[in-house]
Chains A and B, each alone.
Chain A
């Protein structure tokens, strides 16, 4: 591939201060919670990448840093080969748009849907003034709402329709990257499908690049080309979707996949896929962050923090585990 990736993130770090720094210093504790702790990620144009992980893994914070809602302490975000400055111009803001989980709180209740869209189109000069009205209607049509929706207020819509409006709002600015943070988790099952299908259609029709944040691995497998798994602020595995689902290399990914409830009954007597709770992000274990819950943990895991390393066979599949590629390396050495 010769074209630069659409998005190239290097060493992004976002931290929050928890409690008073003085009290923390007196107690000899950390007061900085590193929600995102050094993330490198590239997204190709037209790709759909999923960011999965459990609550507190930093996936939403990372998404907010991408969009510019959260300021990154370190690292850089390159869009189309150009570094985005900490303070973005409105032209740059347009290029990455976000759809939030809760369509009830992310739309202005005092504006009609048409009003919301027209305001955006005017402020950002997306289309000439004379075309604002017709373009707003065109956007509603694109997300599967009829023209009459323009006169209605968000409260007059169901959850699924509101999420369509939120998507219309996001694509109104013709973003290059759409970040969708749990876009269907607040919706009923029968409605989820309409939104998932809509996102898929928009990708095909508009060539949209999608970063999907989700804890629902079924949704991820359905919609995305590639998956990055996060654990406590780090990416611990990244791979093409099918490679990840068929052969996870990090024990956390394996546990996460095994924990998904399936439509076919399982053996209830088996122990849970992953034991215990994640540790507090203020008291991270030494070495590998997953070692306290890991069935494979050894001495080396407490001593060395494993780096995200690519597979010797597939440069697109990386995992941050000391033993991720042990078998492959062994067999390669034998073959040599």
Chain B
């Protein structure tokens, strides 16, 4: 497999997605750029409505019908996926880029045996014979930890538990050895012990096969478990980017700082929770300047007028805050 210069696998640049509603045009994704290197797991975090899921869905062109990409590119090996025809995109979906959804029950075909659903990809994309693809499905079921694959092959999705269904989704995602798997809150609907099983399985399989991940979630500890890089989204834009360890240890955007302080940390029981005041803005008419300024305690006059770009700082960190030093001061004062 040839990778483009610089080892870059997938590059999203200046992506914009608009949703038409009867109250106006919602700018759900507003200038998002993101790179994923081979074997890397990138977390995309943010609250509901921040545009993280829309960003993910744009990559494979599986946006809801009322949403459309108005600008930007999604480049895989020099090809802009946003310009591909339906049939050419179908050759990439499931083959080179696969997707795992939050609700496996609604993503799986309820009237098709799970084994056949896993075998379908290799037959369609890899040209395997029926016998080969069945064998491959059985192997995959074993790899993702579905017990007794020969018997479970003939089962239907409703006969599986939530965790087992998500394993089926993972087997389907892995069935054609994709280079990238897009995960949309894949463990949010699962219990914590099952979530732990699925996260460990995903991390293990991706490391084993060198598959990259983009992992959308609102759960920061889940990102800490599985991702190397993290991009924090707010109101349709990426406001901070960096390695998971650095961003979570010393955030450089007040929104990230706010998220970290508002969620109780199980290992820090005495901590006082500091909510972020206010609510996320409307994306029909977002605030001027920095979109976070109405909720930000560091906001100055310039934040109301200047729309801050995502600036690259030292060693792979990036922030869209004009006064990011304040975060450092704040963390320093606390320590």
For residue A218, which residues in chain B have a CB less than 8 angstroms away from its CB? 263-266
For residue A217, which residues in chain B have a CB less than 8 angstroms away from its CB? 192, 266
Q: Distance in Å from the Cβ of B190 to the closest Cβ of chain A?
A: 9
Asked if B193 and A54 sit within 8 Å, CB to CB, the answer is yes
Q: Distance in Å from the Cβ of A294 to the closest Cβ of chain B?
A: 12
Q: What is the CA–CA distance of A219 and B266 in the complex, to the nearest angstrom?
A: 8
For residue B288, which residues in chain A have a CB less than 8 angstroms away from its CB? none
Which of B193, B195, B269 sits near A221, CB closer than 8 Å? Answer: B269
Given A194-B275, A222-B273, residue A263 in contact with residue B197 (CB < 8 A): no
Q: Does B161 contact A (CB under 8 A)?
A: yes
Q: How many A-B residue pairs have CB under 8 A?
A: 122
For residue B244, which residues in chain A have a CB less than 8 angstroms away from its CB? 265
For residue A245, which residues in chain B have a CB less than 8 angstroms away from its CB? 266, 269
Q: Does A189 contact B (CB under 8 A)?
A: yes
Q: What are the interface flags for B46-68 relative to A under an 8 Å C-beta threshold, 1 for contact and 0 otherwise?
A: 01100000000000000000000
Asked if A269 and B265 sit within 8 Å, CB to CB, the answer is no
Asked if B193 and A189 sit within 8 Å, CB to CB, the answer is no
Q: What is the CA–CA distance of A219 and B263 in the complex, to the nearest angstrom?
A: 8
Asked if A270 and B269 sit within 8 Å, CB to CB, the answer is no
Asked if A191 and B192 sit within 8 Å, CB to CB, the answer is no
Asked if A270 and B200 sit within 8 Å, CB to CB, the answer is yes
Q: What is the CA–CA distance of A281 and B270 in the complex, to the nearest angstrom?
A: 37
Asked if B164 and A261 sit within 8 Å, CB to CB, the answer is no
For residue A54, which residues in chain B have a CB less than 8 angstroms away from its CB? 191-194
Q: What are the interface flags for A261-274 relative to B under an 8 Å C-beta threshold, 1 for contact and 0 otherwise?
A: 11111101111111
Asked if B224 and A264 sit within 8 Å, CB to CB, the answer is yes
Given A189-B47, A277-B163, residue A158 in contact with residue B279 (CB < 8 A): yes
Q: Does A146 contact B (CB under 8 A)?
A: no
Q: What is the CA–CA distance of A221 and B271 in the complex, to the nearest angstrom?
A: 11
Within 8 A of A (CB), among B185-219: 191-197, 199-200, 203-204, 207, 218-219
- Which among B203, B269, B271 has the highest number of chain A CB atoms within 10 Å? B269
Asked if B191 and A215 sit within 8 Å, CB to CB, the answer is yes
Which of A221, A270, A274 sits near B266, CB closer than 8 Å? Answer: A221
Asked if B199 and A261 sit within 8 Å, CB to CB, the answer is yes
Q: Does A42 contact B (CB under 8 A)?
A: no
Given A265-B224, A265-B245, residue A190 in contact with residue B258 (CB < 8 A): yes
Q: Distance in Å from the Cβ of B146 to the closest Cβ of chain A?
A: 11
Q: Distance in Å from the Cβ of A251 to the closest Cβ of chain B?
A: 12
Within 8 A of B (CB), among A39-69: 54-55
For residue A255, which residues in chain B have a CB less than 8 angstroms away from its CB? 193
Q: Does B221 contact A (CB under 8 A)?
A: yes
For residue B222, which residues in chain A have a CB less than 8 angstroms away from its CB? 261
For residue B203, which residues in chain A have a CB less than 8 angstroms away from its CB? 268
Q: Does A188 contact B (CB under 8 A)?
A: yes
Q: Distance in Å from the Cβ of A224 to the closest Cβ of chain B?
A: 10
Q: Does A303 contact B (CB under 8 A)?
A: no
Given A190-B275, A193-B263, residue A272 in contact with residue B47 (CB < 8 A): no
Q: Is the interface of B mostly helix, strand, loop or mixed?
A: helix
Asked if A260 and B266 sit within 8 Å, CB to CB, the answer is yes
Q: Does A302 contact B (CB under 8 A)?
A: no
Given A260-B221, A265-B245, residue A272 in contact with residue B200 (CB < 8 A): yes
Q: What are the interface flags for A181-210 relative to B under an 8 Å C-beta threshold, 1 for contact and 0 otherwise?
A: 000000011111110110000000000000
Q: Does A134 contact B (CB under 8 A)?
A: no
Q: Does B328 contact A (CB under 8 A)?
A: no
Q: Distance in Å from the Cβ of A198 to the closest Cβ of chain B?
A: 10
Asked if B267 and A262 sit within 8 Å, CB to CB, the answer is yes
Q: Distance in Å from the Cβ of A167 to the closest Cβ of chain B?
A: 15
Q: Distance in Å from the Cβ of A231 to the closest Cβ of chain B?
A: 11
Asked if B191 and A188 sit within 8 Å, CB to CB, the answer is no
Q: Does B259 contact A (CB under 8 A)?
A: yes
Given A196-B264, A265-B245, A272-B193, residue A188 in contact with residue B199 (CB < 8 A): no
Q: What is the CA–CA distance of A54 and B222 in the complex, to the nearest angstrom?
A: 18
Other than the given A221-B269, A261-B225, 7 more pairs (CB < 8 A) read: A190-B262, A190-B275, A190-B276, A192-B262, A215-B192, A260-B192, A261-B196
Interface on A for B, CB 8 Å cutoff? 54-55, 158, 160, 188-194, 196-197, 215, 217-219, 221-222, 241-242, 245, 255-256, 258-266, 268-275, 277
A-B contacts, 10 of them at CB < 8 A, read: A54-B193, A222-B271, A241-B269, A260-B192, A263-B221, A263-B267, A265-B244, A268-B204, A272-B200, A277-B194
